[in-house]
């Protein structure tokens, strides 16, 4: 059986594109043992997927929210356990 890891999928709403959100998220990710992606969506939102140990992912998510709070109006977040599917953390263009 594949090892289950903690996942966060979050959709950030607000003035989150054109303000360096993805690049700052990538920078924050370097301080945590997380894998995943961050990408701009056509409707102006930003989608974040992060996975790893529950504590690392939760602390990473909180750090992103704190770092970018001036631009975030709302966050739709879901968490779940599933097999790991990402390697490293990257921006999806």
Whether residue 30 lies in the annotated active site = no
Catalytic residue, from 40, 55, 87, 90: name it. 40
Catalytic residue, from 22, 55, 87, 90: name it. 22
CA distance 73 to 13: 6
Whether residue 15 lies in the annotated active site = no
Three-state SS at 42:
coil
Which runs of consecutive H residues, i.e. helices, occur in 1-93? 21-29, 54-67
Residue 86 and residue 36 in contact, taking contact as beta carbons nearer than 8 Å: yes
Catalytic residue positions, numbered? 22, 40
């Amino acid at each position: 059986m594949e090892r289950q890891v903690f996942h966060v999928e979050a959709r950030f709403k607000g003035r989150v594109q054109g303000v360096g959100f993805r690049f700052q998220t990538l920078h924050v990710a370097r301080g945590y043992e997380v894998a995943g992606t961050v990408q701009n969506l056509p409707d102006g939102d930003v989608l974040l997927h992060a996975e790893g140990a529950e504590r690392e992912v939760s602390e990473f998510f909180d750090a992103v929210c704190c770092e970018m709070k001036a631009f975030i109006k709302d966050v739709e977040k879901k968490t779940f356990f599933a097999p790991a599917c990402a390697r490293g953390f990257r921006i999806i263009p």
